[in-house]
Chains A and B, each alone.
Chain A
């Protein structure tokens, strides 16, 4: 595993992302509120550029038939192509437990963001 510079912390504002090239591999680094995440940019479904998708939440059922709840707002990345959803923190697919996107450690040091790939 190697550490790669993403850039200075102040250049990645909260709510933003940066998709960088790490030795030929595209990695998306996100800053959502106070947390940082890094995921592979390749969607495991059909290869879409996952890290260009919207940050969103998802829907779960409540007690009654039309009783829907909106949960995990801001914790989910939705693929820009066919809208598959993945947890930013784990890369786990929301809909298909067998699907997972590789995730990477993000390290902050001396005012810089690094990703470990």
Chain B
């Protein structure tokens, strides 16, 4: 072959190594009407208030800065993260994110499960049409499929409808439920998503009313409510483990997003101890709870925990490998946004896994992406 010139390949898009996956981005429709147009009847023409679609505003607890990064409003108007050009500038440009996993918070739990399922269906069609297609020429967005946590049949139907779609890479259950996540009524959902290889994601999506009730009553302040998010996630996690769900569905993966993470360490100690000493109450549980957590559960880093002594976070996590359990999230465009630099709090050897590797594995995403200009 010596002396033979290799002909140049036709110009191919250059590929870029992915370095940051953000597992929690919240896109909004430009207006409630944009989403409303996707809602199937009778729910569309019945005159529901826009509050049904309202991601985070609440007459009960108001988050600081109206729950949004105040610099995330596009100059062309509309709510934060409704203009794909401006959002790309902040998320891909300023933050340096390569892939964003979109979790639309446009479905509040409603009283009627069929209504909730209709808003889920609308959200999925809207997301697919806009952020996952029209706004996704660069291929850097993936999404969570919304289904109603309150009616298993309707949830299963919605998942089946989208099975095999390349963009929906996980299924979200709203954790504001009346039944812990491990109980049997959810099992048909787990059976289906395990078969399809889609993780379940739990992400807070508040509703006014009884679901804001803490076990000891209603809190006065938003900060109480926000500090207690992790309790809700802990309730579901304990249920998933002790109901033996991970034994029954050995491929099931559960992502806990925006519930904090350091709490999982002492909780696992307690669960392990109970199981080791008197496991006979839960014969479905065959392994140490902490092992199920390690193999089946991932947590988002956002909202990052900020102990006054940074070292404390690392010490705590020496006990349970942060490089394995955590995935980076910004929560863009919300007020408690974390920039990627926050991952500098973790030991050097864990950083790349938190920022990238864990999410690529968990969601089975390509490790390189085409170098497509943003606009």
Contact = CB atoms under 8 A, between A and B. Distances in A.
Contacts of A47: 339, 341
Interface residues of A, number: 12
Interface string B334-367: 0111110110000000000000000000000000
Interface residues of B, number: 13
Q: Determine chain A's interface SS by DSSP, over half rule.
A: loop
Interface string A68-94: 000000000010111100000000000
A53 B339 contact: no
A81 B64 CA distance: 9
Contacts of B72: 80
Nearest to B334: A81
A81 B337 contact: yes
B248 interface: no
Contacts of A81: 65, 69-71, 335, 337
A83 B339 contact: no
Contacts of A57: none
A54 B70 contact: yes
A52 B64 contact: no
Contacts of A60: none
Interface in B53-85: 64-65, 69-72
Nearest to B70: A80
B305 to A, nearest CB: 13
Contacts of A49: 71
B342 A80 contact: no
B336 A82 contact: yes
A78 B65 contact: yes
B339 A80 contact: no
Nearest to A78: B65
Contact of A83 (B65, B338, B341, B342): B65
B336 A53 contact: no
A81 B304 CA distance: 14
A83 B71 CA distance: 12
A46 interface: yes
Contacts of B336: 82
A92 B65 CA distance: 20
Given A80-B65, A82-B64, A83-B65, A46 B70 contact: no
Nearest to A84: B64
B66 to A, nearest CB: 9
B342 A52 contact: no
Contacts of A48: 69, 71
Q: By CB atoms of chain A within 10 A, which of B65, B72, B336, B337 has the most?
A: B65
A82 B335 contact: yes
Nearest to B303: A82
A53 B70 contact: yes
A113 B338 CA distance: 35
Interface string A37-57: 000000000111100111000
Contact of A54 (B65, B339, B341): B65
Interface in B175-198: none
Contacts of A53: 65, 70
A25 B366 CA distance: 38
A82 B337 CA distance: 7
A82 B338 CA distance: 9
Q: By CB atoms of chain B within 10 A, which of A49, A81, A83 has the most?
A: A81
A78 B69 CA distance: 11
Contact of A46 (B65, B71, B339): B339
A73 to B, nearest CB: 17
24 contacts: A46-B341, A46-B342, A47-B341, A48-B69, A49-B71, A52-B71, A53-B65, A53-B70, A54-B65, A54-B70, A78-B64, A78-B65, A80-B71, A80-B72, A81-B69, A81-B70, A81-B71, A81-B335, A81-B337, A82-B335, A82-B336, A82-B337, A83-B64, A83-B335
Interface of B: 64-65, 69-72, 335-339, 341-342
Given A48-B71, A53-B70, A80-B70, 7 more contacts: A52-B70, A54-B70, A78-B65, A80-B72, A82-B335, A82-B337, A83-B335
Closest 5 CB pairs of A and B: A80-B70, A83-B64, A52-B71, A80-B71, A83-B65
